[in-house]
Amino acid sequence: MPRLKAAIDIDAPREHVFALAGDLRKRPEWTTFVKETTITSGDGSSPGSTDKT
């Protein structure tokens, strides 16, 4: 299977980046192709949380 590897540099504190990326409810704030996120289990920021986008 082909693999793709990519990297980006983000000019922001690590804590801020992980606070956004680790909270499913905030995905529309930083992902341009996601318009809405609905949490389907968990609270959206805890391990095991799932969502519908």
Q: What is the pLDDT of residue 15?
A: 92
Cα separation of 53 and 39, whole Å? 9
Q: What is the pLDDT along the chain (53 residues), one digit of tens a residue?
A: 899 898 989 999 999 988 888 888 888 988 888 899 999 999 988 888 998 98
Confirm whether pTM is higher than 0.85.
no
Cα separation of 17 and 21, whole Å? 6
Q: What is the pLDDT of residue 19?
A: 85
Q: Is 24 exposed, middle or buried (0-12, 13-18, 19+ CB in 10 A)?
A: buried
